[in-house]
Chain A
Amino acid sequence: MTTADLEAHFDAVIARRDRIEPRDWMPEAYRRTLIRQIAQHAHSEIIGMQPEGNWIGRAPSLRRKAILLAKVQDEAGHGLYLYSACETLGISRGELVELLLGGKQKYSSIFNYPTLSYADVGTIGWLVDGAAICNQVPLCRTSYGPYGRAMIRICKEESFHQRQGYELLMTMMRGTEEQRALVQESVDRFWWPSLMMFGPPDEHSPNSERSMAWGIKRHSNDELRQKFVDLTVPQAEVLGVRLPDPELSWNAEREHYDFGRPDWDELSAVIRGDGPCNAQRLAHRRKAHDDGAWVREAATAFAERGRDD
């Protein structure tokens, strides 16, 4: 088959919304785009362990400690499946980790914000995992098979996490005045960064159009952001918290909520590396990686010796 035939076959698979599998021919740019996106997603899971992991030691009840520890463990598990999905594209986990540690690949901007109270554990579950789910549910139908299948399992677990986060906030709102104030303060801090998780507005999203054409992405950043706002506003009302946006109001004509403009300069700064915790998050990961080097070497040496014996 000529390259043109292969390309035609690839295009036909995409056009009928079928899956591309690891052994199928694919354009190099499609492979590179997927590696970038899946790796970024895997790195987000791994870096995302830190802000919540920060509160495991201080969880205020043993039940909450178990829930939080299990959640952060799930994130490590998600990182594992996603690195595996990425490896089917011909790159190793070790190479991907080096790209993360070298600052050559990104992770979600949201994890560059600090967690300052236990309420943040609930807010991250509700808003951050909620936004992640809006982004990720369409990826279950993404054109690359291993990625789509990993996403199905991840989305189930993320829904569970979102529900647990919301349940924590609900419980705190039924507690003391101080607890209610903690919830409100946390929502005030995380609302705008959560909206930024959908990425820059469509007119400034350089990679979006091609990803949509390839069926890697199914909805635009702004569509997903709107969907998240529409889902979240009634949830905030049930919870009894105020979302910190004076422009937030129902638009009967559009049948959507109108909302204010996120501070896109802040998002650019965080992506550039100037968020409150960028340096801290990478330094933590680099230290864990470096501290573990002798263990990985020992395991390799032991396995090789076993083969010789």
Chain B
Amino acid sequence: MAFDGLLEGNSDQWAFGTDFDDPLAGLDVALPAALDPLEHARFCLGLADDALILSQRLAEWCSRAPDLEDDVALANLALDLLGQARLLLGRAALVDPAVVPVLPAGSPVPAEDALAFFRDAAAFRNVQLVELPNGDFAHVIVRLLMFSVARLELFQQLLSSADPVLAAVAARGVKELAYQRDWAGRWFVTLARGTSESRRRVLAALAGLWVHQAELAEAYGLSGGAVLERVFLAGGVAQPDSVVRVGGRGRDGMHTEALSLLLAEMQVVARAHPMGRW
């Protein structure tokens, strides 16, 4: 048939095979009795939403980066986080099916998509840092640096999680986040020590984003700031004073005005077709 080549064919003929490999293949997905399902699902959902929402923001950079190499790198980071989000949403749904929004009977929408596309802003559990609208290139670098340092530290601890699925997600994520931190860290130093214009911009981005560091540190259980301190030192930048911001936390469903706008874009097609197949 005319289509064998396109649909059936042998996966070897395609440059990257036919799909992504599953890091959970062969894993026992039962939740150990020591873990409380409701609490664990909530924990996974927070980590999933952080990755999903930041991935959405990073993908907005596509075709807009300063150079082609940066465009490719930002898309890579967005894809890594999207991959983490999918695994974690799936985990949350499996551990506590009650977190998944109810769709019309017979809807073919899988749990990960029901969670991503059919929850309203107040049901999202991401930290506010990841939902803020994009700014300039210094903004994306500072946000990524803060985020990847915090997330990498937590994922390193999750390597020994009692939940084997979370441990597997962390094992893959640690490599991705280390790359993300190094990429952002190198750019941070480059911008901080590049020109007076780039230094001005990176300081402005840091000043604007640092008010979200306390919420991030709390959500990720950060112990100290040794890694960030080293990067700041390399860039000749003083660590900003810590700020305690009032107004609620993303993990409790309290968000900035930016999130519902982000979701309006992200969810518009999926919500128009609750019975659709994609």
A residues sitting closer than 8 Å to B (CB atoms) are 46, 49-50, 53, 56-66, 69-70, 72-73, 76-77, 79-80, 83, 118, 153, 156-157, 159-160, 162-163, 166-168, 170-172, 174-176, 178-179, 231, 234-235, 238, 284-285, 287-288, 291-299, 301-302, 305
Contact between chains at B198 and A235 (CB < 8 Å): no
Chain B nearest CB from A174 CB (Å) reads: 6
Set A49, A285, A296: member contacting B67, Cβ < 8 A: A296
Set B72, B201, B278: member contacting A61, Cβ < 8 A: B278
Contact between chains at A69 and B15 (CB < 8 Å): no
Chain B nearest CB from A275 CB (Å) reads: 18
- CB of B195 closer than 8 Å to a CB of A: yes
Chain A nearest CB from B193 CB (Å) reads: 6
Chain B nearest CB from A243 CB (Å) reads: 14
For B189, the chain A residues whose CB sits under 8 A away are: 302
Contact between chains at A302 and B194 (CB < 8 Å): yes
B residues sitting closer than 8 Å to A (CB atoms) are 1-3, 6-7, 9, 13-16, 20, 52, 56, 59-60, 62-72, 75-76, 78-79, 82-83, 85-86, 89, 108-110, 112-113, 116-117, 136-137, 189-191, 193-195, 197-198, 201, 265-266, 268-270, 273, 275-278
Contact between chains at A57 and B60 (CB < 8 Å): yes
Chain A nearest CB from B83 CB (Å) reads: 7
Set A77, A162, A175, A299: member contacting B6, Cβ < 8 A: A162
A77 to B7, CA, bound (A): 25
For B62, the chain A residues whose CB sits under 8 A away are: 49, 53, 56, 69, 72-73
A156 to B56, CA, bound (A): 28
For B136, the chain A residues whose CB sits under 8 A away are: 291
A160 to B110, CA, bound (A): 24
Chain A nearest CB from B248 CB (Å) reads: 26
Contact between chains at B276 and A179 (CB < 8 Å): yes
Contact between chains at B6 and A235 (CB < 8 Å): yes
Chain B nearest CB from A234 CB (Å) reads: 4
The answer to whether residues A72 and B194 also contact, given A57-B56, A57-B265, A296-B66 and a CB cut-off of 8 A, is no
Chain A nearest CB from B238 CB (Å) reads: 19
Contact between chains at A291 and B269 (CB < 8 Å): no
Contact between chains at A61 and B2 (CB < 8 Å): no
Contact between chains at B78 and A69 (CB < 8 Å): yes
Q: Which residue of B lies closest to A165 (CB)?
A: B6
* Dominant secondary structure of chain B at its interface with chain A: helix
A76 to B70, CA, bound (A): 10
Contact between chains at A62 and B82 (CB < 8 Å): yes
* Dominant secondary structure of chain A at its interface with chain B: helix
The answer to whether residues A64 and B278 also contact, given A69-B62, A73-B72, A294-B201 and a CB cut-off of 8 A, is yes
A49 to B275, CA, bound (A): 29
15 contacts between A and B (CB under 8 A): A50-B63, A58-B265, A62-B52, A73-B72, A76-B75, A80-B69, A157-B16, A160-B14, A163-B6, A163-B14, A235-B3, A284-B63, A284-B64, A294-B198, A305-B193
For B108, the chain A residues whose CB sits under 8 A away are: 175
Set B63, B116, B137, B269: member contacting A49, Cβ < 8 A: B63
The answer to whether residues A166 and B15 also contact, given A62-B82, A69-B75, A292-B65 and a CB cut-off of 8 A, is no
Chain B nearest CB from A256 CB (Å) reads: 15
Chain A nearest CB from B132 CB (Å) reads: 16
Contact between chains at A160 and B278 (CB < 8 Å): no
Contact between chains at A62 and B269 (CB < 8 Å): no
The answer to whether residues A176 and B276 also contact, given A118-B269, A167-B7 and a CB cut-off of 8 A, is yes
Chain B nearest CB from A98 CB (Å) reads: 14
Q: Which residue of B lies closest to A130 (CB)?
A: B6
A167 to B19, CA, bound (A): 13
For B56, the chain A residues whose CB sits under 8 A away are: 57
A64 to B112, CA, bound (A): 12
For B70, the chain A residues whose CB sits under 8 A away are: 292, 295
Set A61, A76, A166, A291: member contacting B68, Cβ < 8 A: A76
Chain A nearest CB from B88 CB (Å) reads: 11
